[in-house]
Amino acid sequence: MSEQTNSIHLPDIPLQAKGNVRSFLQDVLSSLPEEVLSVALTGSCVTGDYLPGRSDINSVVVLSGITPAILDILASLGGRHGKKGISAPLVMTPEYIERSLDVFPVEFLDIKLIHITIYGREFFSGLAINKSLLRLQCERELKSKLIHLQQGYISSSGKRRPLSLLLRDAYPGFFPLLRAMLSIVRISNPPPLPKEEVLSHIESTFGISLDPLRRIRDSAAKRYPGAGRQSMQKLFAEVYKVTYDLSLVMDQLSH
């Protein structure tokens, strides 16, 4: 954690996002000049999946301490920057990071893999992630996804629009788990970052077709023609089976 970037550093992130990121960072630093230890970008800005006008810009802000007053200051920035696609940042302290690696290994692995520190100290590149805890959280999260999908389907009454929203909301949450799964079985090579490469590597590693997840993506981008109720029910069934099969893989890795 010794590396320090005292100036704003915006390397290879999408050109369309740079102006908004710079404005957000300058506001954070001017509002909390003593408290900000580090700011890192995460998500699609880093993986190459960023779509201007559609993708959110995600970040992690590490502070020396967190109080309700500090949260109020950050909240006051939300309205102005939220309109520009800046999501509410994850806010944490160094102590929180150290004490939470065993509780949220999937989330911290994803930050470790997918981040660019644009100001301050480097907190995430050297994180040590316990693979046993990573496997346990993957299995738990996949089984939780199954329950969420079940409840969502029942609540939707099998109707097209709520089913479509259910699947679109579920789609992004698969990728931290899929990268974690690849990290568990790989000895040295880190998993890929772009979503399509993640899907392909999971398929070749575990022999599970992830085409249903691609169809969620294509449906959100209006490239998937099956918009009727029956086709959405069929897609739901396929996504549910994929989730179940992934949870079985994680369960078998424990033996």
Confidence bin at 6 (pLDDT 50/70/90): low
| Chain segment 159-208, per-residue pLDDT in tens | 999 999 999 999 999 999 999 999 999 877 889 999 999 999 999 999 99
4-121: CATH topology: Beta Polymerase; domain 2 (3.30.460)
Residue partners of 125: CB distance under 8 A and separation at least 6: 3, 112, 115
Per-residue pLDDT tens over the stretch 217-230 = 888 766 555 568 89
Please state, in angstroms and rounded to a whole number, the distance separating the CA atoms of residues 247 and 222.
29
Whether the pLDDT of residue 136 is over 90: the answer is yes
pLDDT tens digits for range 10-63: 777 777 888 888 999 999 999 999 999 999 999 888 888 888 878 888 999 999
Evaluate whether 113 touches 186 at the Cβ level (below 8 Å).
no
Give the whole-angstrom CA distance, residue 101 versus residue 127: 8
Among 181, 205, 204, 201, residue whose Cα is nearest residue 192: 201
d(CA 236, CA 81): 35
